[in-house]
Amino acid sequence: MPVGKSEGPLRSRANLFRTHPSLTIILSLLILILAIFTSASTSVIPRLGLLFGHLTPRHTPATTTRHVTTAATMTTIYAAELEVAQLAVQRAAQLTKRVFREKGTKGAVAKDDASPVTVGDFGAQALIIAALRARFPHDAIVAEEEAAPLRTDAALRERIWRLVRETRLDDVAAEGLLGGAVADVEDMLALIDRGKSEGGRRGRVWTIDPIDGTKGFLRGGQYAVALALLENGDVKVGVLGCPNLPVDDAAPLTADIGANQTDEEGRGVIFSAVIGQGAWSRPLGTGALAEGKRISMKPITEMSSASFCESVEAGHSNQSEAAQIAQKLGITKPSVRMDSQAKYGSIARGAGDIYLRLPTSKTYQEKIWDHAAGDLIVREAGGQVTDTKGQRLDFGVGRTLATNSGVVAAPAAVHGQVLEAVQEVLGLK
């Protein structure tokens, strides 16, 4: 092809740009915008969530594919909430694990209701709320602890601040998704006190139990870091970090699962669920989220070989009534006692079958943070969760489950049968 033929138009285009320099600028801008949008799906849009809270993440393909779990990649609904909640729980669990390994009292102080709280509870709550404030700044929070005891105890405050300051995920991008570090001690106290919402049936409310099963935590048993999102009173996202449960979903519940835990390697699992999307488990890690696996409850073919879980603390659940219920159902195995919502996680993955929580007092009201995550995880794994009257747990009443009494959780197919035995023994029929 003659050289002149191809050079002609090129030369005239070059002249055009020389005579109209603004064209060069416009073209460069267009190229830049195009470049940004082609990489937006993996890097830019998720970061906008940091600026716009839940508005953006809820409608974007959850953050980066590297951190997105199998569950999250399948759908975009609550994907950002699910990812942030799991990472926040994972980070908080790094703090609680550090305290768990400490010998002695773990900085325990008694609360007004005489229940214990440790430096781990305060620190984990501060870290979780820091992530929620960064990513979903408009959401309300119902959390178990408040900062009042720390304002008057400088030594306790400093100890917790050190833990909070030093705990971060060892993956920079994952840590970035949680909004980074807490600014200073005052900020830490303010974060802890953001958990004082009254809850209720309207809007988005996160509920946090930074260490569920504090007595188990102090004893060296099971405990859980629990986080759930309620929308208009219904649980939409639930996450439980259980540092002392085996990773293997198929590992049977041993009689000693609730005791003598040493935070050994190879343990630690995160359970999660999103409404209508199933339940999942994955190893509890230290950085980005590990790959998750779908979990489901085990169908009970023979009631005689079923196992049921209950609290270690006889003051939290009536153990003698539970034994009578088990006998009525023909269950032959002794109960598996363990602290915390690890019970919900354990039956959701089929390691155990039934969870009974039978009131020990007429006046005690269960707290929403003790049940919200576990309730959704069990229901999404194919279970049914009600109180002893057969009513669904109502998380829209306020900070407590004021209209419910106890918990009966079982695979959906046998829940009716279990509830009947519960009601016969409790004289509710």
Ligand X SMILES: Nc1ncnc2c1ncn2[C@@H]1O[C@H](COP(=O)(O)O)[C@@H](OP(=O)(O)O)[C@H]1O
User: Annotated binding residues for Mg(2+), as ranges?
Assistant: 144, 209, 211-212, 370
User: Which does residue 86 touch among ligand X, Mg ion, none (CB within 5 to 8 A, set by kind)?
Assistant: none
CA–centroid distance for 45 within its chain: 24
Contact pick of 56, 360, 400, 423 for ligand X (by CB under 6 A): 360
The interface region with Mg ion, picked from 197-205, 364-372, 379-387, 398-406 by CB under 5 A, is 364-372
Per DSSP, the three-state class of 116 is: strand
| Least gap, CB of 183 to ligand X (angstroms) | 27
Tokens coding 23 = 């064209």
Q: Which residue of the set 63, 118, 214, 386 is catalytic?
A: 214
419: closest CA among 22, 346, 406?
Answer: 406
Burial class (CB in 10 A: 0-12, 13-18, 19+), 329: buried
The interface region with ligand X, picked from 65-73, 205-213, 377-385, 415-423 by CB under 6 A, is 205-213
367 touching ligand X, by CB under 6 A: yes
311 touching ligand X, by CB under 6 A: yes
Per DSSP, the three-state class of 184 is: coil
361 touching ligand X, by CB under 6 A: yes
Q: Which residues contact 194 (CB under 8 A, 6 or more apart)?
A: 129, 133, 141, 143
83 touching Mg ion, by CB under 5 A: no
| Active-site residue flag, 56 | no
Comparing every residue's Cβ against ligand X, the nearest one is: 311
145 touching ligand X, by CB under 6 A: no
How does DSSP classify residue 400?
Answer: B
| Active-site residue flag, 121 | yes
Residue 199, CA distances (Å) to 202, 304, 377, 395 in order? 8, 41, 20, 8
Q: What secondary structure, in 3-state letters, does 298-365 show?
A: CCCCCHHHCCEEECCCCCCCCHHHHHHHHHHHCCCCCCEECCCCHHHHHHHCCCCCEEEECCCCCCCC
**Closest CB to ligand X among residues 57, 213:** 213
Burial class (CB in 10 A: 0-12, 13-18, 19+), 362: exposed
The interface region with ligand X, picked from 21-29, 211-219, 239-247, 282-290 by CB under 6 A, is 211-219
The interface region with Mg ion, picked from 58-66, 133-141, 182-190, 205-213 by CB under 5 A, is 205-213
340 touching ligand X, by CB under 6 A: yes
Q: How many residues bind ligand X (CB under 6 A)?
A: 19
| Least gap, CB of 310 to ligand X (angstroms) | 8
Site residues (vs ligand X, CB under 6 A): 115, 144, 209, 212-216, 311, 313, 315-316, 339-340, 360-361, 364, 367, 370
Site residues (vs Mg ion, CB under 5 A): 209, 212, 370
